[in-house]
Structures are given as structure tokens and as C-alpha cells.
Amino acid sequence: MITAQMVKELREMTGAGMMDCKKALSESNGDIEKAVEILREKGLAAAAKKAGRIAAEGIVKTYVSEDGKVASIVEVNCETDFVAVNEDFVTFADNVAKQAAQTNANTIEELVAEKYIADESKTVTETVTGLIAKIGENMAVRRFQKLTVEQGAISSYIHGGGRIGVLVKLECEKESELLKELAKDVAMQVAATNPLFLNREAVDNEALEKEKEIYRVQALNEGKPEKIVEKMVVGRIQKYYKENCLVEQVYVKDPDTTVEKYLQAKSKEIGAPIKVAAFVRFEKGEGIEKKEENFAEEVAKQMQSK
């Protein structure tokens, strides 16, 4: 059965009209991801990005060492935006970010099993349990990532009070204070444009083939002759690269250039090539489905359990 909530969710994901969303869901037998593809094939939806549909609360924090050689990013979740600004919660998130930069852990399970950096009498998990008891709301350290660089610099950018966090690693054989500033500029770019890939080489082949097929169907639906469809697909794939590969994107601070060309110009200032080696972008709550219940139903359930 196609519900109003499903239609609403699809509209939020694609920007397509209500009736178009309803038809696409009927065609896909309620499969939302398939419905997105159907809408795109009909030219009714923009390219879907790897972003969560329903946000959970919490905060994204980063930590960068003074020399800019080691950095980390963490997401710590809670249930309400009220707790997300709680002083104890924010301090805990800051400490976990610093711990993540110093850890040898490879998984979140290993990290939370470690002794907590601010109080080694407890593990990170035990500290979370204590915070839950104190604040009265469920919370969890969801994910982290650590970056290191030998020659170059790492910088971070936090947007919207912890809604989005970014790390960018630049590699350069020549040391320069300018590198940290440049990495920060690129981090702001990543926060604003949400690139899916670093460069063309990083594009997932399966994702690329899926895009090509969608473009083919779009072109045929537009009534274009088959002989020119392939040329159109090639053109649209070039556009896909420019929109989704960080180094090929139009630079937000100067629309007349790209990120790659901006760094090439700065390379001449420093006297050595600058390369974007990696980036990490966390958006609070992406991919988490937040449980929504009717208040009356919730009260009824509580009464039945008594």
C-alpha cells in the first residue's frame, strides 16, 4: 500500500510533484529507491546524493593537531536538539574527537571499548551510560574517521553548529603555513557542495553505469534519435563528473575556476604541487531513520503496558 508518508518522503528526496511521486511509487510497488530512478528517467527528479532522508539529533565534531598532521571527525547522536547543545554532551563529543585522533582503533566498537581520554577509570561506553543516566536521554558514539599526513596539512570545517563536519587532507612536498588555510577553503567547499567522489578515478563503476542507463532512458523519453543518444550520454556523464567529483567542481569562492585550477594556482605560490589526497564529510543523522509515532498511539501503548 502506498502511504502519504511514503509520498512525502519521496517528494523531499526528489523535489518531484505529489502525483508524479504517487505514480512512481505505484510503478515501483512501494520501493522508494526504485521510484527515485523512475522519476529521474522521466526527467522529474534531480540526481540523488548519498545523504540521509530523515535526520537524527546530535553533533559532529572534529579535532586537528596543532601541526595539522593528524585529525579526526566523530558523530555523537542523541534524541533531541535540546540535548545536542547540552554542555556535558558537547564536552563529551569534543573529548571523543580528540581520542579518535590518538587511537589505533579501526572500528567504532574498538574505540568505545577504550579507556575514556578524560577519565581513564571508565571506558567510553561506560561514560556514555553515565551521561544517559544523568541527562535522561539515549545517546551513542555513531562513527569516526582519522586522517594523517606526512607532507602537507589537514584542516577541518564545522557548519551549522555541528550539523556538518568536514576534514580535508592536502599533500605537498614543500611545507607552508598556507596549506592549512587552503585545506580549510576546500573543506568549506565540501560542506557546501557535498561531492560524492574525490576525482574521476574514485567514481564507483556500478554507480556510473547506473547513471548512464538513466541518461539513456531520459534521452529516449525526450524523443531523441538513438544515433545521438550515446553522444548525449557522454555529455551528461561529463556534467556528472563536474558536479560530483570534488576536484572538478566549480570553486564556490570563485565561480570562474575549479577546485583543481585554484590549487594549481596556489601551487605556484608555494613552489610545489598541491594535491587533495582525501576528504571526509559527516552530516548529522544521515542514514538514520528517526522513529515517528502518533502521540495518541504512544499514550495508548503506555496505558496498555500498565
- pLDDT of the chain along its 306 residues, tens only? 889 889 888 887 777 778 888 999 999 999 988 888 888 787 776 544 433 333 379 999 999 999 999 999 999 999 888 999 999 999 999 999 999 999 999 999 999 999 999 999 999 999 998 998 888 888 899 999 999 999 999 999 999 999 999 999 999 999 999 999 999 999 999 999 999 999 999 998 898 899 899 998 988 888 888 888 888 889 999 999 999 999 999 999 999 999 999 999 999 999 999 999 999 999 998 877 554 444 455 545 544 554
Residue 248 included in any domain: no
| Shared-domain flag, residues 103 and 13 | no
DSSP3 helix / strand / coil % (the chain, rounded to 5): 50, 20, 30
Residue 132 included in any domain: yes
Residue 170, pLDDT score:
98
Residue 16 included in any domain: yes
Which are the contacts of 35, defined by CB distance < 8 A and separation ≥ 6? Answer: 10, 21, 24, 25, 27, 28
Q: Which residue's C-alpha cell is 594556482?
A: 265
Residue 46, pLDDT score:
52
Nearest residue to 61 via CA among 254, 284, 217: 284
Residue 134, pLDDT score:
87
| Shared-domain flag, residues 86 and 156 | yes
| Shared-domain flag, residues 15 and 91 | no
State the CATH number of the domain containing residue 62: 3.30.479.20
| Shared-domain flag, residues 19 and 93 | no
| Shared-domain flag, residues 7 and 105 | no
Distance of alpha carbon 55 from alpha carbon 41, whole angstroms: 27
Residue 157 included in any domain: yes
State the CATH number of the domain containing residue 41: 1.10.8.10
Residue 117, pLDDT score:
97
| Shared-domain flag, residues 163 and 62 | yes
Number of domains observed in the structure of the chain: 2
| Shared-domain flag, residues 64 and 163 | yes
Residue 201 included in any domain: no
Residue 24 included in any domain: yes
| Shared-domain flag, residues 39 and 93 | no
The range of the structural domain enclosing residue 15 comes to 1-48
| Shared-domain flag, residues 65 and 163 | yes
Residue 62, pLDDT score:
98
Number of H helices, E strands in the chain: 12, 8
Nearest residue to 141 via CA among 76, 62, 87: 76
Residue 177 included in any domain: no
Q: Which residue's C-alpha cell is 558537547?
A: 90
| Shared-domain flag, residues 37 and 101 | no
Residue 88 included in any domain: yes
Quick check: helix, strand or coil at residue 102? helix
Whole-prediction pTM: 0.76
| Shared-domain flag, residues 64 and 155 | yes
Residue 207, pLDDT score:
84
| Shared-domain flag, residues 106 and 82 | yes
